[in-house]
Amino acid sequence: MGATVSEMTVIDLRIEVAQRVAKGEVLAELESDKSVFELEAPCDGKISHIFGGAGEILSVGSPFVRIETLDTSMLHLKALASESVTSSEEIVEESPLSLRPPASPVSKLTPKARKLAEVSGVSMEAIHEIEGTGPGGRVTGDDLALLLERTDAGQKVASREGNGALRRNSSALETETVCVSGIGYSVPQRILSNDEIRKNVRGENSEDPVRLTGIRQRYVIGAGESVTSLGLHASNKALAAASLRARDIDAIIVATVLADEPIPGAASDLANALGLGEALAFDLNAACSGWLYALEVGRSFILAGTARNVLVVTAEAPSRITNKEDPDTAFLFGDGAGAAVLTRDTGGHRLHRHQLSGDSRFAHAIRRQGGGALQPVPLSEENLDDFYMKMDGGLIFKKATIAFSNIIDETLERHGLTSGDVSWVVPHQANARILKAVSKRVGIAYDRFVVTVDRFGNTSAASVAMALAWAAEEGLFEKGDKIVLCSVGGGLTYAAGLMVW
């Protein structure tokens, strides 16, 4: 379960210990009961202690931050006398977390509504009066368009940016779909537990990986296993589910960040393993969003007539480039593969157009510098640091939470859906804390998120495919279920779209 109305999730932490703050300065962004709050400093002073970090779920009424200050109006919040004071300034505790909204609440608009608001120049006061019909009570583009239609100033904008532009005709969307005829996934034989990893890792992030990430175990490849072998197993399962043979496939796309060899690509090795010597085959790398990018390419190929049956595969082995002594990454990653067969058939599971985007300003947040043209081989055998994945966990938590929420909102708005219409969300399995925060932001119950991060870990591009195939094998989906697929990955890359079971 996610945070309830008696709890708050720390979405973004903007301070650190020893930092000086001014009265009114924003300390953190919090969320509770589908509402976003900015917590402001009640006085000038210096931060001496922070009780919760980004992603933490805290009880309402509990202390959040301690501030050293000379402001005597804060004496009612003075810390216990038994606690040591290391400064001439008084130590006070921040006001307990409260559910009361700030004087200027953060507006809840979908991305399209926000763009329309910017174009039209409509006041925030007017927007606050709108009763939002979007996920979590957000104001949608259609809500704002209706407001503009009622005002003289908005007539021109509404006619140009109104319902026709903001919500595409459902029959037109239907003609863009292709059939997902079969899906499958595979994992290596070896299970790697948290206790095994903890033997090599020190630091606070090693103490409770389940609380921090939701991950209890992951699978990692061993002798005789490879990216190609994982992809082959998943592909054969997908082909069997589709009642097709390998020779019926005329295009193969493989999403991966690490093929078995730099040259040839993973798709060529897989095509060869399947006996498809002359099939169109290529790799695609969009990090954790890769499989959804590949699905969209495959869908486009079918609609354009480039291919009839497309095998869209993702196979990943991030354990090979994970520093086993790094507490920030050692517990996160696992290996695995997933596959889907896309066809021109009518009926069946329908894959709609996916929206692909990103934000390269944060390309540094997840990276592996070694192994490319700038540093193809280690400079010395003793320094392999650049050849492991590194990530800024705090930045990723914030950006992923916001980006996931936005792309889910955009998907629902594009198809004229509300959060109540969604049967399931199948997200990239980045971190359970991120997914819980996203659930709250979009107003979709956490028990409608397919979560497999506890059993598989973060398998990069393979995670959405594996979660989808695992849920299908478990019989979670029913005919007609509306499923939102979504991912945020390194780059940063974003992808989301609708699948109807």
What residues are labeled active site? Answer: 288, 428, 458
Nearest to 492 by CA among 396, 405, 428, 407: 396
Residue 363 CA to its chain's centroid (Å):
15
What is the C-alpha end-to-end distance of the chain, expressed in Å? 25
Residues 6+ apart with CB under 8 A from 80: none
| Residue that is written with structure tokens 């998120």 in the block | 449
- Angle among Cα 466, 467, 473 to the nearest 5 degrees reads 85
**DSSP of 409-443, one letter per residue?**
HHHHHHTT--GGG--EEEE--S-HHHHHHHHHHHT
Alpha-carbon gap, residue 66 to 41, rounded angstroms: 10
Tell the residue number behind the tokens 């090795």, with chain if given: 269
CB 337 within 8 A of CB 277: no
Q: Give the three-state DSSP class for 416.
A: coil
The 3-state DSSP class for residue 348 equals coil
Report d(CA 298, CA 254) in Å as an integer: 11
Residue 363 has which token pair?
A: 């390309």
Which amino acid is present at 385?
D
Which residues neighbour 390 within 8 Å (Cβ) at sequence distance 6 or greater?
A: 326, 328, 329, 366, 367, 368
Tokens 């300034």 correspond to 89
What secondary structure, in 3-state letters, does 332-381 show?
Answer: CECCEEEEEEEECCCCCEEEEEEEEEECHHHHHHEECCCCCCCCCCCCEC
